[in-house]
Amino acid sequence: MNATEANANMPTGKANGVLFNPKTYASILYLLLSLPLGIIYFTVAITGLALSIGLTPIFIGIPLFFGVAKILNGIVNFEQSMLRQILGLPTATASHAYNPQPEAGQNWLMSMVRGFDSGLFIRNLLLVLLRFVTGILFFVIMVTLLSLGLGLIALPVVHIILMKEIQLDILEDSVFSYFQIDWTYNQQYFLYVGVGLVFMWIALHVVNGLMQIQRRLMYVDEP
């Protein structure tokens, strides 16, 4: 068994711990790209279907429709393969694909019609639409949690720089002064950094959890 196969057989997200697991940071990159990719997928699907329906009276819409179905299948297969690669899952054999073998004397349109699977088309369309929704939702959740964690961790450095450069005390009206807690700046720094590290730990676990949700939504099964 080589290193790649051994890595693939490890439990997802537990190989090296959430902090030092490369899959965690690959998942962050995937979720960052999920927003623009989801918008692109949605635009291609809706535009293609609208054009195919609108151009049906002049018969251009019919081959365009089958072309859109093939594109949707390619998008879903691409997303599934990307999730498998990030999560270290083995590549699955393609059970559904628009790859009809044309018979002798059969044109390309008839070949596409014979290879069309209505159930698979509906599934792919729903997955692309769902991918658009989850892309936005997961992006917002991840960016919010990571921003909170990184912001709290960086707060002491930002405060020191602002105090030295422009004499701006951003901690002057903090929660400590509101509750009349007389803590020094160093004590506040330790608290903010500690809370920030907790938020980062939670955020990284949430990222892995979101990837598992996305895996199930895209019908990517673990071995």
Give a yes or no: residue 96 inside a domain: yes
Percent of the chain residues past pLDDT 90, beyond the cut:
52
Give a yes or no: residue 186 inside a domain: yes
Region at 219 (left for phi over 0; alpha for psi -120 to 50; beta for the rest): left
Q: What does the alpha-carbon distance between residue 150 and residue 197 come to, in Å, rounded to a whole number?
A: 8
Q: Report the Cα 208 to chain-centroid distance in Å.
A: 10
Give a yes or no: residue 187 inside a domain: yes
Give a yes or no: residue 222 inside a domain: no
Q: Which two tokens stand for residue 164?
A: 């030295």
Neighbours of 194 (CB within 10 A): 12
Per residue in 126-173, pLDDT tens?
A: 999 999 999 999 999 999 999 999 999 999 999 898 888 887 777 777
Give a yes or no: residue 150 inside a domain: yes
Mean pLDDT of 186-211: 93
Give a yes or no: residue 174 inside a domain: yes
Residue 108 pLDDT: 65
Q: 109 falls in which pLDDT band (50, 70, 90)?
A: low
Residue 135 pLDDT: 95
Segments forming the whole domain that contains residue 134? 3-217
Per residue in 49-77, pLDDT tens?
A: 999 999 888 888 888 999 899 999 999 99
Give a yes or no: residue 223 inside a domain: no
pLDDT at 92 over 90: no
Q: 103 falls in which pLDDT band (50, 70, 90)?
A: low
Percent of the chain residues past pLDDT 70, beyond the cut:
80
Q: What does the alpha-carbon distance between residue 6 and residue 88 come to, in Å, rounded to a whole number?
A: 9
Residue 19 is classified by DSSP as H
The residue behind tokens 């907790």 is 198
Instruction: Count how many domains the chain has.
Output: 1
Give a yes or no: residue 104 inside a domain: yes
